[in-house]
């Protein structure tokens, strides 16, 4: 989801990523870097204006089809 927010009158992009927990610090950093670079390339805004938040959700707190991902993983 990309939603703009304002700082000192300027509209700034705020990119939120929700994903299952388990990615490394390095992977999360690369995700933030790549999203920022892509947004900058497409829109021409300054990289400093782009905010990326990565929210990791525990497998037991995320479900699809009525079953948590923790249960799906345990079932194999």
Residues present in the chain in total:
76
Per the residue annotation, which of 4, 13, 14, 32 is the catalytic one?
A: 13
d(CA 39, CA 47): 8
Nearest to 2 by CA among 45, 35, 37: 35
Long-range CB pairs of 64-72, under 8 A, 24+ apart, other chains included: 69/20
Q: What percent of the chain has pLDDT over 90?
A: 83
Tokens 């923790």 found at: 70
Active site residue 13: yes
pLDDT of residue 12: 80
pLDDT in tens, 49-70: 999 999 999 999 999 999 999 9
Look up the pTM and report it. Answer: 0.78
CA–CA separation, 22 vs 61, rounded Å? 13
């Amino acid at each position: 989801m990309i939603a703009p927010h304002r700082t000192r009158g300027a509209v700034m992009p705020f990119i939120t990523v929700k994903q299952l927990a388990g990615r490394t610090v390095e992977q999360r950093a690369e995700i933030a870097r790549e999203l920022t670079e892509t947004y900058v390339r497409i829109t021409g805004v300054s990289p400093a204006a782009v905010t990326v938040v990565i929210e990791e959700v525990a497998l037991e707190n995320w479900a699809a089809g009525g079953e948590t991902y923790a249960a799906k993983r345990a079932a194999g």
